[in-house]
Amino acid sequence: MARRTKSSRSARPALTARTADRHRLYQLAVQEPDAELDFVARTFSRLRGRPAVTLREDFCGTALSACAWVKRRATHRAVGVDLCADTLAWGTTHNVAALTPEQQSRVRLVRRDVRSPNATCRGTDVVLAMNFSYWTFKTREGLVAYFRSVRSSLGKGGIFFLDHYGGYEAFKEIEERRRLKGFTYVWDQASYNPITGDKTCHIHFEFKDGTRLRKAFTYEWRLWTLPEIQELLHESGFKHVHVYWEGDDGKGGGNGIFRPTRRGEACACHVSYLSAHD
């Protein structure tokens, strides 16, 4: 890549709500495909004694992880599954198109409900359901139906990876702001109903010129707890379910290293990974 000179850097227009691209900002603020895929590849190899080759990214949105997967190795193949045609189109134009033609030949995007995978979506080593997207299924029956369909569509020796967040702050109606290059990311836990577990969250983006992109994304979720998710994975037929808890950075935060354990901590906010397999 050509080095950018100081003048070209300063010539780049400042971000503003009118011109900002919400998918680009989401990827910058929320996603870390390399760290996630490092964890997935390492854990799969540990559990199976062989590397994972094929990956399905459920709720793929712009398919950033599916594209990152095919970039990692020439043998890797990926399929991204999402219902939203516009988001898939954005991913095709920006993420798939940025791959080499050879890498592009190893990734497929499928517009489909994750609960009814077609032949293209079946038989992979790994199925990913990240950024809590499976919380869209609000009933035990609905979530079990999804988990069962993942289990029956995995390839031989396949492993399902998902993430989870919890801690007492997850139940609060609060906003969290994070300053990033050129914009502020706002995570808005707008409402939580303790009777149903329904939770509405928004992502807003704010810019240095005072403009804002309110409700750039909205999620209508059920706030599931970690014990419930483990029970429902077992109920769906998975024989082995592991929780990977994040280590401590010594300053009250996480260190990005996730290890399997049966002992967590009652902290304000925790993100963990789970694996489920036979």
Ligand X SMILES: C[S@@+](CC[C@H](N)C(=O)[O-])C[C@H]1O[C@@H](n2cnc3c(N)ncnc32)[C@H](O)[C@@H]1O
Binding site for ligand X (CB under 6 A): 30-31, 59-61, 81-84, 87, 113-114, 130-131, 133, 136
Residue whose CB is less far from ligand X, 80 or 158: 80
Closer Cβ to ligand X, 121 or 276, answer by number:
121
- Least spacing, CB of residue 252 vs ligand X, in Å: 25
Q: Which residue has the tokens 């592009």?
A: 104
The span from the CA of 170 to the CA of 219, in Å, is 14
Q: Are 151 and 183 in contact (CB under 8 A)?
A: no
Q: Of all residues in this chain, which one has the CB nearest to ligand X in the complex? A: 61
| Residue among 15 and 128 whose Cβ is closer to ligand X | 128
CA-closest candidate to residue 164, choices 276, 273, 38:
273
Closest to ligand X by CB, 33 or 158: 33
What is the closest distance, in whole angstroms, from the C-beta atom of residue 48 to ligand X in the complex? 23
Minimal distance in Å, beta carbon 59 to ligand X?
Answer: 3
We find the least distance from the C-beta atom of residue 255 to ligand X, in angstroms, to be 21
Residue 232 buriedness (CB in 10 A; 0-12 / 13-18 / 19+): buried
The H or E element that residue 128 is part of is strand 124-129
Q: How far is the CB of 68 from ligand X (least distance, A)?
A: 11
CA 67 to CA 104: how far, in whole Å?
A: 8
CA angle 241, 83, 73 (to 5 degrees): 60
- Nearest residue to 143 via CA among 80, 217, 223: 223
Contact at 8 Å (CB) between 179 and 163? no
CB nearer ligand X, residue 86 or residue 102: 86
